[in-house]
Structure 1
Amino acid sequence: MPAPGELTFVAPRGAARPPRHLADLAPAERRSAVAELGEKPFRARQLSRHYFTRLTDDPAELTDLPAAVRERLAGELLPSLMSVVRHVACDDGATRKTLWRLHDGTLVESVLMRYPDRVTMCVSSQAGCGMNCPFCATGQAGLDRNLSTAEIVHQIVAGMRALRDGEVSGGPARLTNVVFMGMGEPLANYNRVVGAIRRLTDPDPDGAGLSQRGITVSTVGLVPAMHRLADEGFSCRLAVSLHAPDDELRDTLVPVNTRWPVREVLDAAWSYAERSGRRISIEYALIRDVNDQAWRADLLGRLVRGHGAHVNLIPLNPTPGSRWTASRPEDEAAFVAGLQAHGVPVTVRDTRGQEIDGACGQLAASAR
């Protein structure tokens, strides 16, 4: 049975599940898998080092394994998961979006964003999304299926390789932050997302060795899964995609609100903050004449003040044919002032990637 708030695997008619991959397995499971293939269990650690540390899955590069077993072990535990359809770049090459084709033809996206003080990667956890938020390109497309743990992890491993090899403007670099803010609702694919977090943060060579504090998981507010995530003992940041402070509007903008209303979502967020020791990020897409009124800024400020939360205002990146668009500059400024009047920390997100179909789901939609 799926966990609370988790959707079951959905595959296109006649399609097979993603192939088993090293990144789907915990270290002990990898040793068992290698032993089942008739090889010594320590080969699992060698494979892990190649994939997570050397960032390669090419059998020809597995030179510390006997030549006779490289192809077999790589074929069984490092199968091809996805291929690049295309890369598109902007911001003088500092932002690069990748459209991936998965083994069954499904399309997903990831984005690398280089800043002066960090490099952030935004990854997808589902192909499409079942949350049906009307202003979101991914939500308009609906849900194709959940990604496997390895399909999630491989986006990051490929990004780390691109940074190492200097494929992103600015020369070689290391990945510092991962945000689960691409296609899909991460907590609707709970087990695989948690598995991906563990693979990404397990120390070398069992995982990629990233810091949990550099990982952000977003959610529209699947309350049971939020409580479950608090029990994992992670120090990841939780970002709540609120988009409206009142249930009447949020029922329309974020339909899952009819099941878990604003106050329940925020209570679950404050519980996560207490358990993790990390402040909550409140994500709020500013939509002209929809949710950007001064009274809504006041209400949002009253709801989140005193909880150490940070509000991240997002100028809406309009999708083709949508009636939704970004707020006027003066309304955005008034909204910021309304939150600051309550002592709530607030920033306006840097709007990167608009010229490359930057909103999640836009590039995949254009390729359908």
Structure 2
Amino acid sequence: MKSPEEMAQLVFSRRDAYLEEITSRRKAVWRRASVITAAVLCTAILGVGGVLAATLDIGALFRSVFSSQQGNALSEAQNTYIETHMADIGDSVSADGYTVTLKGALTDGTTAHILVDIVGPEGIDLESVSPGFDLTMKGLCYEDQHGISSVGATFLHLDDHDGKANTVSLNIEYNVYAMPGSNFTLADGRSRTLHLADIGYVETEYPYAFRHVAEGPWVFKFAFTATGNSETELLQSPISGSYSQISGKQVKATIHSVMMKGLSATVYYTLDAHEVQEAGDFGAIRFVMNDGSELFAYPDKAGQTAEISNGELIPGSNCHYCTYVFPAPINSDDVDTVYIGESAIKISHP
């Protein structure tokens, strides 16, 4: 029998391997993004500051990003989703010698994609260090300050192909997770304030020191397109099965609901007694489309839905959930089957 230390090492090694797989997929995606974006932009004219993507129509830029992430051309439904959900912004702010342009934003209410260009002083190398921001979004909760469980941001880099080291383009993937019972959504058309306090990066070698590049803030007031909080239930009835967690342990679980939006989906489930939730219990989930193509969604946020009233658990409110983020918009009408672990969910269309 393995010692507790050996078991811990096994769990973390498998977790790290899983996270490495996700990272590798994303790196491959963005290598494809740079190639496809180059093809799309090859006839563009350099704009002010030299950021090549700055001259591209925001809808075309989103289409380039998402088609690159999924690895093939977007469907008509995906293109329509982009056109109806995107906000074309184009505002620029300068501070500490750096100009930041908020080009556009798109959200399904939970997951948002925010496209940003950075132009630094001549002689500064931004391309090789993968910078990000100290980012906060104000105007999230409004009157209900308890409506949000957590937020998170990931900075994904696009090659702007302008040949200049002092410019960089980012896709900021921003996720907001509402508390159980909250009606909060980013897609309500209300004013938000994107507050970018500083630019910095983390070194790629141990001890992974943080390096400060520039001091802001760069502040933008904008609104996501008001599309509401539309979501679709994919399950007709609960399904039960055995699943392999990230640690490799097999657990029995019952999936009660799969709520799908355009850029994300949340799985609600319960585990058998004495089983313990792991972040991303089911690993990646696979969407098989009507045309036979596939998209993988990866876990971004896990937790429990338990609600408390007067210090006591509300009966029936306690189950696990995990929210998955898509590499590109998915229309539920285009989905044939969803695979969660080995369980296949055949999607019924009217």
Normalised by the length of structure 2, the TM-score is 0.26
Normalised by the length of structure 1, the TM-score is 0.25
Larger helix share, 1 or 2: 1
